[in-house]
Structure formats: structure tokens, C-alpha cells
Amino acid sequence: MADTATMRFRRLFLRLGLFVACLVFMSPPVYAGIGRGLTRVLLAPLEIPKAMVQGGLNPVSMVGGAVTGTARVVTGVVGGLGEMAQGTASTATQAAQTAAPYAKYAPLLLL
């Protein structure tokens, strides 16, 4: 049982290491776009409690805040992933040309 947990940890560590290595070797504009997108994705789940507190403390506005926060989470995650995919390229063609050299490393993340 401990061996499988150790192997999972090693795989996770390897994946994170490969991701960081890809970020280090990318050009700075692409790195900045990925950083902004990653920030949006990581901070998106905090929108639910934020919207619930902003709505007030009565149960009806808390439920409304939860619905509003959920919508903000979905848009934040989708927007962040789009920004990470695009980098800072102004068109989809430029984004594809920028990301193409690194696409060959994608199967390594699935190991």
C-alpha cells in the first residue's frame, strides 16, 4: 500500500517538475499569460464564499450568492484556461505557433 502512495507522489512530483521546466524555458510573454491564467483558475473557487458574504446573511441572499459565485467560478476557470492556452498571443494562429514546440511534452503529463 505504501509503495503505491510513494509511486503516486513521485509521478505527481515529476509532472509538476515537467510543468515548471516548461514554464522556465518558455519565452517571457507566454510565461506571463500562463501565470495570469493559472492565477484566475486557482482563485476562482474563492468566488463562491465571496458572493455569499456580499449577498448578506439571510438564507435567501446566501443561496443567490452561491448561484452567482458558481457562475463566476465557471467563467473564471474557463477564462483562465483559455488565457493559459493562448498565452499573450493576439490570434489563435500565433498561440498555436507559440505552443506547438511544447505540445510534444503533453503525453508525459499523462504517465
Q: Give the pLDDT score at 81.
A: 82
Kindly state the cell numbers that stand for 102. Answer: 511544447
pLDDT for the residue numbered 46? 92
Residue 89 has pLDDT above 60, yes or no: no
Domain with 90 in it: 2-110
pLDDT bin (cut points 50, 70, 90) of residue 57 is: confident
Burial 71-105 (b: 16+ CB within 10 A, else e): ebbeebbeebeebbebbbbeeeeebeebbeeeeee
Structural domain total, the chain: 1
Overall average pLDDT of the 42-70 stretch: 88
Specify the pTM.
0.54
Contacts of 43-46 spanning 24+ positions with Cβ under 8 A: 43/76, 44/72, 44/73, 44/76, 44/77, 44/80, 45/73
Q: Could you read off the pLDDT of 29-45 as tens digits, one per residue?
A: 666 777 788 888 889 99
